[in-house]
Copies of this chain bind each other. A is one copy, B any other.
Amino acid sequence: MIKNSIFFGIVQNDLTALEAELLSIIHSPVHLITEISEHLVQAGGKRLRPALYFLSARCGCDDQAKLQPLATAIELIHMATLVHDDVIDNAATRRGIPTANNKWGNQMSVLIGDYLFAKAFSIVASSQVSGRVMQVLTEVICSMSEGEIIQNQDIFNPEQHEMEYLSRIAKKTADFIAASCELGALTAGLPEAYVQALRDYGYSIGMAFQITDDILDITASSEQLGKPAGNDLRQGIVTLPVLYALKHSPAAAELRTIVATCNMTEAELARGLQIIHETDAVEYSYKLVGEYLNRARILLPAAVPPDIREAFLAVAEFIEMRNF
């Protein structure tokens, strides 16, 4: 059973097989590696990236065995970045359960992240993928690290522009989701235009996904998120709703001071959230989400088989409606 997964129907079997493969691949003679990795796999997640990979691949390939290795690598890479992110953010919970750094410490979490990266590339290396597949995968990890570094560099800095935010979340999130679609299409051997269209669909989905993530940090409860609400603001990560409020709120100067505050108090955080809520920041951000999702829907190639198209559209709809 995959916790939190939104994917039923068409790629359900692929995702069930993926869970088994993830648990099998992370098994190590070093007991602690198995223990921590199992914790990470069993913590679940939406499996958005491998699901989009499978959906794209299923547009032209019926061979589950051929598709499996890259899906596993994609999810391992995602897991590795999450483990390192949680170290960087000093996060105590994710999806409502303790993070690896919380249970096993930062040192072990850095190492486990490296191990998962290596394991992912080891799978790819032994599965005879093309040079292009390898390049897409490695470039996307460079891009994600760059995005995280830029984000880290820009914390507690209210002087940012929307374009900088969008470029950062593209690197941090959308590029990887785009690559997941591209890799599926490449593995299925689809024509170049088809590959590009699915990649572009994934990019738009990824942008929408990250913006809703950033909105939920402002609007959702800690219970819904499985992690503390207002976390981004607390850590100085300046997201789209914050940028909007910094531009349009009558209390912008006060918000600017709060955004720039390291170790802000709960009262300062609450006041910051209040200032944002008193503007149209959330509506504005959802409007942008809607635009990206419309773009995603339009980009879907006509050649996508109807049942897969339905699943691709369901992903877009989920992102619009999601509250976790």
Let me know if A191 is at the binding interface, CB within 8 A: no
The answer on a CB contact under 8 Å between A142 and B119 is: yes
Which stretch, A6-14, A49-57, A62-70, A110-118, touches the partner chain B? Answer: A110-118
Which residues of B are found within 8 Å of A108, using beta-carbon distances? 149, 152
Cα(A191)–Cα(B242), bound, Å: 62
Q: Would A117 and B115 count as touching, CB distance under 8 A?
A: no
A139 to B145, CA, bound (A): 22
- Which of these binds chain B: A127-135, A203-211, A223-231, A262-270? A127-135
* A157 is an interface residue with CB less than 8 A from chain B: no
Scan A25-65; emit 1 where CB is below 8 A from any B CB, else 0: 00010101100000000000000000000000000000000
A87 in the interface, Cβ–Cβ < 8 Å? yes
Q: Which residue of B lies closest to A135 (CB)?
A: B125
Asked if A149 and B106 sit within 8 Å, CB to CB, the answer is no
**Separation in Å of the A160 CB from the closest CB of chain B?**
15
A28 touches B87 (CB 8 A): no
A121 at the interface (CB under 8 A from B): yes
Q: Give 1 or 0 for each of A187-219: 1 = CB within 8 Å of chain B CB.
A: 000000000000000000000000000000000
- Which of A106, A111, A134 lies at the interface centre, i.e. has the most chain B CB atoms within 10 A of its CB? A111
B125 lies within 8 A of A131 (CB): yes
In the complex, A4 has a CB within 8 A of chain B: no
Chain B residue, CB-CB nearest to A107:
B88
Alpha-carbon distance between A141 and B117 when the two chains are bound, in angstroms: 9
Within 8 A of B (CB), among A94-113: 106-108, 110-113
Interface of A is mostly: helix
Whether A150 is near chain B, meaning CB under 8 Å from some CB there, is yes
The residue that A110 contacts in the complex, of B84, B125, B135, B137, with Cβ under 8 A, is: B84
How many copies of the shown chain assemble into the complex?
A: 2
Are the CB atoms of A115 and B145 closer together than 8 Å? yes
A148 part of interface (Cβ distance < 8 Å): yes
Residues of B within 8 A of A317 (CB): none
- Contact in complex: B138, A134 (CB < 8 Å): no
CB distance from A186 to the nearest CB of B (A): 13
**Are B142 and A125 neighbours in the complex by a CB distance under 8 Å?**
no
CB distance from A126 to the nearest CB of B (A): 6
Q: Is A146 an interface residue (CB 8 A)?
A: yes
Cβ contact within 8 Å between B149 and A33: yes
* Chain B contacts for A106, CB-based, 8 A: 87, 106
10 contacts between A and B (CB under 8 A): A28-B146, A30-B150, A88-B111, A114-B117, A117-B117, A121-B121, A121-B137, A122-B141, A125-B131, A125-B135
In order of increasing CB-CB distance, the 9 nearest A-B pairs are A118-B141, A125-B134, A115-B145, A122-B138, A121-B138, A118-B142, A88-B107, A125-B135, A125-B138
Q: Which residues of A come within 8 Å of B, CB atoms?
A: 28, 30, 32-33, 81, 84, 87-88, 106-108, 110-115, 117-119, 121-122, 124-126, 128, 131, 134-135, 137-139, 141-142, 144-146, 148-150, 152-153
Q: A32-B149, A126-B131, A126-B135 are in contact. List 4 more A-B contacts (CB 8 A).
A: A32-B153, A87-B106, A118-B142, A121-B121
